[in-house]
Structure 1
Amino acid sequence: MKKSADTKAIHKPRFCEGSIMRHVIVMAGTGTVGLMAVFLVDFLNLFYISRLGNSHFTAAIGFSNAIGFLQMGICIGMSIGTVVVTARLIGAGQYERAKRMVSSFVIFTTIIMILIGLTVAFFNREILYLLGARGIVLNQASHFIVIVSPFLFLIGLGMVLSGLLRAMGDAKRSMNVTIIGALIAGILDPIFILVFHLGLEGAAISTVCSRLGVVLLGFYSLRRYELLEKPQWNFFIPDSLKILKISFPAILTNLATPVGGLFVIHTMSNFSSDAISGQTAIDRIIPVAFAFVFALTGSVGPIISQNYGAGLRERMQETLIVSLKLVCLCVLCAWVIFFLSQDLFVRMFSLKAEGEALMRLFCHWVIINNLFLGMLFVSNTAFNNLGYPLFATFFNWGRATLGTIPFVSIGMSYGPQGVLIGQALGVVPFGIMAVCCAFFVIKNIRMDRPI
């Protein structure tokens, strides 16, 4: 009898009652720690590579990470579909159906990620050349990708498993799953890069090991929910396609950000390695500094989905409002900290000339554009979880194309700093329009649509 009661409590939708503010802060707070751990792996790679004092190595990390972000966008999209469907079914009380669909999609995700990882590894030099990598930078970036890309399925699986824990409302275990990756990278990076003198190859080996740790702990942590079972093969394709129906637009949405980043890094390649190093350092700092903002996109999704499944419109609206307030607070605090700490960041990444100028410009005022970026990402989360993923795709690709290409192209004529300013200004209109659209969708959505 006790076991039955415990099982019932575990399966209960946690976000359909209680304080929305508390749910958002707990989920986003633990999600922040977890997400910082994910981005910290790349951050540590860059930090220890920069200790070698070779700007070519730092630039190589920039190019390889640009491709990595593209792959990461696919992984995030796959995990979004899993989280949305799982949380919505949990909110509607359909636990057995959630188990069946999730078990199928975990295998489906693994297969897709293996194929993508091997394809990128095979064509990595051609991709890097198109991005503008040349000579030593191209060779070093290629070595990194050849080692890391075949193991892309590990990061894909890790994100899905961590997302499933969030869908169940288990913020703490979801956080622990991602933290283990940063701990492993923090231990292995200095050993492989500085002690064994393996350079970028050492950073790549450390990255693979950290991702393996994430997957192993993810499977272990999910055991208590009995959410994964032997797939029912007659449902494998239909269930996978049903989740992919949500994941595919989410993938397209998430690809927009790295594609826009590819255009920026390609534009920066027209300038010096110092400029590329500065842009790379900024790109690595943003995810860590604004981990709370990025965590909101993964954390409030299950809250919105569970309340949508339960038909609670007011709680969905409150979730969006609370999230936007927290985005504003986070960006304001980060602006003050970065303005006061700009000298530290310049020294931390050994930035010179154009790289130093870019970092100081970012710390002075360009950092404010993350307010509009946060508005866009929170709105996209609402679209994905309410069954309107194409809206998220539209706004993200609008920002990555109309909000990036013309602004950056014009800014290029003013040098590297013009590129950075153009990239920052382009996100403003799309962030504002996305928020307005998100409130409209929540106000008018039908609550009786089938899951």
Structure 2
Amino acid sequence: MQPKTDSALPSASSPITPPGVQATPCAQQRARRARFVHGSIMRHVITMAGTGAIGLMAVFFVDLLNFFYISHLHDPTLTAAIAFATSLGFVQVAVSLGMSIGLGANTGRLIGACRHFRARRHASAFLVLMLAVTTALGLVTAFLAHPLLMLLGAKGAALEHATHFLHITSPALPLVCLGMALSSLLRAVGDAGRAMRVTLTGAACTIIIDPILIFGLHLGLEGAAISTVLSRCVISLSGFLNLRGHDMLERPRLKMIPHASRAIGAIALPAIGTNMATPIGNLIVTHAMSRFGLEAVSGQAVVDRMVPVAFAFVFALTGSVGPIMAQNLGARQPDRVKETFLSSLKLTALCVGLDWLTFALCEPLILHVFHVQGAGIELVKLFCHWAVASYMFVGLLFVSNTAFNNLGHPLYSTAFNWGRATLGTIPFIAIGIHYGPKGVMIGQALGVTLIGSLALMAALTVIHRLGHTLPRKKGRIR
């Protein structure tokens, strides 16, 4: 049954604006809340992904900066330690990101269908579950850090340093999850600017504190870990401050938690599975690189930290265009859903082309700045000139995942991402490992090329069918 506060509004399955009727309560609410059901799609995509990219770039730039500072301590065990530790950290963040995607998709769909009160209740109740899950995950990871890192191939001093890093950062996982969730709610209501501020404030905190702790107080890797925790505190606080005024949170109602968990979990669970696949694939690559020594692991770590910064716009498309698709799906406008997908593909191609040129030109500078040595030099050179092109197919996979998650086929994204982490990684790396570290990187690139192409074809099929199964709304505003 609908809550009383929703009684004046039509349900998501009822006609939103009958033909010939121009003024209804729902039309008035959509004009105020659902920003993406009218206007230029390309402008919406650029605005949402652009601001999301700045926020993501800020977060990953902090990680890159941590690695940069640690590399200047000229201790290979420390650079390898942060590579091993953050490989496990990416698995944790993937869980948080998956739940945030589910929250944003469900909220955006309800807002697009003019059910703001239901969206607020779902969001508030689901935050309780998110915090409980990530608290448990953070504590378990901290407890099992040593054996997990050993499975990755960490040894000796690198193992001890990485374990200590995770003991400090893992219990703070709920804070970064909360920040992601609040930022996702801001994107769901169309406030891209404030969503960007949430991550920018955390980044600014780290940029200031990092050198003080690492060099000023001579805390080294421990200082980087403490800086990470403080940054997460700032991100969660900034999320609450920036969400004020949107009326998207209330005191959580315990009886709403099961209902919200079912509604959001239908998207969030497959999204978690989807997002877990990428860091699991990276763990496989890290384990393969560990066979060739700490220099190979450090070289791969340099690439892994440059990629999120350079391709922040492509990665931001996953979370940023979701609300655009969700709102237009809720408003029954399949043409605008398709236009959103195609606009995302065009921007992905443009971003990858520019990044390829930049990496090729800046390769000597990268080697110098990060003090890359030994086997790591050949890895960085290979990436900058050739392997970077494979991120076009990573972009195709991510944009397709967004379509699957927001158009009712989240299991498709789960299947393709795990296909990338297994069939698209293990056989190719098993062959490539016989040719050294460069063979591992080439194998990884060939695998994602195959899976990304298949995901694109599947997404185009889903969107094509959507145009036949979803009735178009007459007289929509462009």
The bucket for the TM-score relative to the shorter chain is over 0.9
Q: After superposition, what is the alpha-carbon deviation per residue over 1:123-155, rounded to whole angstroms, capped at 9, x for unaligned?
A: 100100111101100000001000000010011
Structure 1 distance, partners of 2:464, 2:307, is 32
CA apart distance, 1:443: 1.5
Structure 1 distance, partners of 2:157, 2:254, is 48
Quick one: which amino acid aligns to residue 306 of structure 1? Q
TM-score, scaled relative to structure 1: 0.97
Q: Which residue of 2 aligns with 1:235?
A: 256
1:99 aligns with 2:120: yes
TM-score, scaled relative to structure 2: 0.91
CA apart distance, 1:242: 1.9
1:116 aligns with 2:120: no
Alignment of 1:428-439 (within 5 A): 428-439=449-460
Q: After superposition, what is the alpha-carbon deviation per residue over 1:95-148, rounded to whole angstroms, capped at 9, x for unaligned?
A: 000010000011110111000000000010010011110110000000100000
Q: Which residue of 2 aligns with 1:377?
A: 398
Q: Which residue of 2 aligns with 1:25?
A: 46
CA apart distance, 1:241: 2.6
- SS at 1:45 equivalent: helix
Alignment of 1:144-183 (within 5 A): 144-183=165-204
Structure 2 distance, partners of 1:100, 1:11, is 19
Quick one: which amino acid aligns to residue 276 of structure 2? L
Q: Which residue of 2 aligns with 1:319?
A: 340
Alignment of 1:119-130 (within 5 A): 119-130=140-151
Match for 1:299 among 313, 320, 343? 320
Structure 2 distance, partners of 1:444, 1:16, is 20
Unaligned runs of 5+ in 1: none
Q: Which residue of 1 aligns with 2:71?
A: 50
Q: After superposition, what is the alpha-carbon deviation per residue over 1:156-214, rounded to whole angstroms, capped at 9, x for unaligned?
A: 11110111100010010000001111111101110111111111110000001011101
CA apart distance, 1:8: 5.0
Identity rate, percent: 53
1:187 aligns with 2:208: yes
CA apart distance, 1:41: 2.0
Q: After superposition, what is the alpha-carbon deviation per residue over 1:339-382, rounded to whole angstroms, capped at 9, x for unaligned?
A: 00001111111001111111011001110000000000000000
1:447 aligns with 2:470: yes
For the Cα contact (< 8 Å) 1:41–1:181, is it kept in 2?
A: no
Q: Which moved more, 1:438-447 or 1:183-192?
A: 438-447
Q: Which residue of 2 aligns with 1:210?
A: 231
Quick one: which amino acid aligns to residue 133 of structure 2? I
CA apart distance, 1:37: 1.1
Quick one: which amino acid aligns to residue 200 of structure 1? L
CA radius of gyration, larger in: 2
Q: Which residue of 2 aligns with 1:138?
A: 159
- SS at 2:62 equivalent: helix
For the Cα contact (< 8 Å) 2:49–2:316, is it kept in 1?
A: yes
1:342 aligns with 2:363: yes
Q: Which residue of 1 aligns with 2:420?
A: 399
Match for 2:247 among 203, 210, 226? 226
Q: What is the total number of aligned residue pairs between the two structures?
A: 444
Q: After superposition, what is the alpha-carbon deviation per residue over 1:414-440, rounded to whole angstroms, capped at 9, x for unaligned?
A: 101111111111001111111111111
CA apart distance, 1:10: 8.3
Q: After superposition, what is the alpha-carbon deviation per residue over 1:221-267, rounded to whole angstroms, capped at 9, x for unaligned?
A: 11111110012222222212321121011000000000000000001
Q: Which residue of 1 aligns with 2:269?
A: 248
Q: After superposition, what is the alpha-carbon deviation per residue over 1:314-362, rounded to whole angstroms, capped at 9, x for unaligned?
A: 0011111110011100010001111000011111110011111110110
Structure 1 distance, partners of 2:193, 2:255, is 35
For the Cα contact (< 8 Å) 1:11–1:168, is it kept in 2?
A: no
Structure 1 distance, partners of 2:255, 2:125, is 10
Unaligned runs of 5+ in 2: 1-24, 472-478
For the Cα contact (< 8 Å) 2:30–2:114, is it kept in 1?
A: no
Q: Which residue of 2 aligns with 1:66?
A: 87
CA apart distance, 1:11: 4.6
* Structure 1 runs (4+) greater than 3 angstroms displaced: 7-11
Structure 2 distance, partners of 1:286, 1:412, is 22
Q: Which residue of 2 aligns with 1:363?
A: 384
Structure 1 distance, partners of 2:255, 2:393, is 45
Quick one: which amino acid aligns to residue 388 of structure 2? I
